[in-house]
């Protein structure tokens, strides 16, 4: 089972694909301490996501909400929601992450299945997440189905793709009946859209010099308002997020390419090799060269 990681394309840009076009489904195992930052930073994606804590206690953030989940508890995160995960204090936590594109369960665009039972719920911004615990019957059933999906995905016996599809549809039907229908419909969320746009801009331009004026223009705010609102919502500065994202990409390049330290520093948008090494060592406790040697172990 893979650890959750970035996939870098030939242009050194993020190109993470959750599963394949033919089977847009994947399960990651995530030990938070194995991540270069020591946490999973803010991000969002079109895929629907389920998480189950397998060890320790995980602090999830979904948009502005803070959630603490213990071993055996789970979480559904809807498409397009900003989220983050980190260890609770003094814990070494792990969780399973089940990601799949909505198309996997939606039949086809224009179908009754998609129009009535999929699209209205994934675009409803009131439906951001759902905590899953074993002391509530319908939530316990979802958790059991997720573990059954993990078993099918791991064993890969004949017909496992079909069985995963069936189990996901059962989970989705349960969410509709027991959770989704309690939310009023809402498709507009300007504040969250702003931060998603900022993050997307950074993810697409991390290798360049990013000007605050460009980010502010992207979301139609003044520079001061852009900084203030980002920090209030994301609990970190824009500058901190840019550095963290560059470090994540650089770590992947260190492990998956033979590019020089200087080249990686340049590719990831650092102004100099010495500045890159300083920031990398401050975050990880080791130099980029020492970190790279891990791939040979």
pLDDT of residue 14: 35
Residue 5: the pLDDT is: 47
pLDDT digits (tens, 9 = 90+) for 46-61: 999 999 999 999 999 9
d(CA 3, CA 5): 6
In whole angstroms, give the CA distance from residue 251 to residue 244.
Answer: 11
CA distance readout (Å), 210 to 137, 202, 239, 270, 297: 49, 8, 10, 11, 36
Q: What pLDDT score was predicted for residue 224?
A: 95
φ and ψ at 92, to 5 degrees?
A: -120, 90
269 closest CA partner among 201, 197, 205: 205
Delimit the CATH 1.10.10.60 region(s) of the chain.
Answer: 190-296
Residue of 131 and 10 predicted with greater confidence: 131
HEC readout, 136-152? CHHHHHHHHHHHHHHHH
**Helix, coil or strand: residue 20:** coil
CB 145 within 8 A of CB 170: yes
pLDDT for res 8: 38
CATH number listed for the domain at residues 25-182: 2.60.120.280
* Buried residues in 191-207 as b, exposed as e (16+ CB within 10 A): ebebbbebbebbeebbb
- Give me the residue label for tokens 């791991």: 154
> Residue 58: in which H helix or E strand, if any?
strand 57-62
Give the percent of the chain with pLDDT over 70: 91
SS3 71: coil
- Mean pLDDT confidence for 125-142: 97
Statement: residue 103 has pLDDT above 80: yes
Answer whether residue 32 shows pLDDT above 90.
yes
State residue 12's pLDDT score: 33
pLDDT at 107: 82
Please give the structure tokens belonging to residue 123.
């675009």
Residue 189: predicted pLDDT: 65
Residues of the chain with CATH 2.60.120.280: 25-182
What strand order describes the sheet that includes 39-43? 39-43, 83-87, 57-62, 65-70
Residue 81, both tokens: 């929601």
- pLDDT(193) > 90: no
For residue 9, is pLDDT > 90? Answer: no
Q: 190-296 — its CATH code?
A: 1.10.10.60
The SS3 assignment for 15 reads: coil
Mean pLDDT of the chain: 90
Taking the model in full, what pTM does it have? 0.85
Give me the residue label for tokens 């059933």. Answer: 141
Per residue in 217-244, pLDDT (tens digit) is 999 999 999 999 999 888 899 999 999 9
Confidence (pLDDT) at 46 = 92
Q: What are the residue ranges of helices labelled H in the chain?
A: 112, 119-122, 137-155, 160-178, 190-205, 212-218, 223-234, 238-256, 261-267, 273-284, 288-292
pLDDT at 109 over 80: no
Which bin fits 65, alpha (ψ -120 to 50), beta or left (φ > 0)?
beta
**Alpha-carbon span 174 to 184, nearest angstrom:** 18
Q: Decide: residue 268, CB within 10 A, 0-12 exposed, 13-18 middle, 19+ buried.
A: buried
Distance CA 292, CA 45 (A): 28
pLDDT, mean of residues 112-132: 94
Asked if 236 and 242 count as a contact pair (C-beta separation under 8 A), the reply is no
- Is residue 279 scored above 70 in pLDDT? yes
pLDDT at 112 over 70: yes
């Amino acid at each position: 089972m893979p650890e959750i990681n970035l996939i870098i394309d030939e242009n050194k840009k993020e190109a993470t694909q959750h599963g394949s076009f033919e089977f847009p489904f994947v399960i990651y195992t995530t030990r938070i301490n194995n991540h270069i930052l020591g946490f999973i930073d803010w991000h969002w994606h079109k895929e629907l996501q389920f998480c189950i804590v397998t060890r320790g206690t995980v602090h999830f953030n979904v948009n502005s909400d803070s959630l603490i989940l213990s071993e055996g508890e789970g979480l559904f995160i809807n498409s397009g929601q900003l989220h983050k995960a980190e260890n609770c204090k003094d814990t070494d936590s792990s969780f399973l992450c089940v990601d799949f594109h909505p198309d996997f369960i939606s039949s086809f665009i224009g179908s009754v299945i998609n129009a009535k039972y999929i699209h209205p719920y994934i675009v409803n911004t009131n439906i951001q997440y759902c905590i899953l615990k074993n002391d509530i019957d319908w939530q316990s059933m979802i958790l059991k189905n997720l573990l059954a999906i993990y078993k099918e995905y791991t064993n890969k016996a004949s017909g496992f793709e079909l069985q995963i599809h069936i189990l996901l549809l059962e989970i989705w039907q349960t969410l509709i009946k027991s959770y989704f229908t309690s939310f009023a419909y809402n498709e507009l969320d300007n504040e969250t859209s702003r931060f998603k746009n900022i993050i997307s801009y950074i993810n697409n331009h991390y290798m360049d010099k990013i000007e605050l004026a460009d980010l502010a223009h992207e979301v139609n705010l003044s520079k001061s308002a852009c900084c203030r609102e980002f920090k209030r919502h994301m609990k970190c500065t824009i500058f901190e997020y840019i550095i963290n994202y560059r470090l994540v990409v650089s770590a992947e390049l260190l492990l998956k390419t033979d590019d020089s330290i200087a080249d990686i520093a340049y590719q990831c948008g650092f102004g100099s090799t010495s500045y890159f090494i300083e920031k990398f060592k401050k975050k990880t406790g080791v130099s980029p060269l020492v970190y790279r040697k891990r791939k040979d172990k």
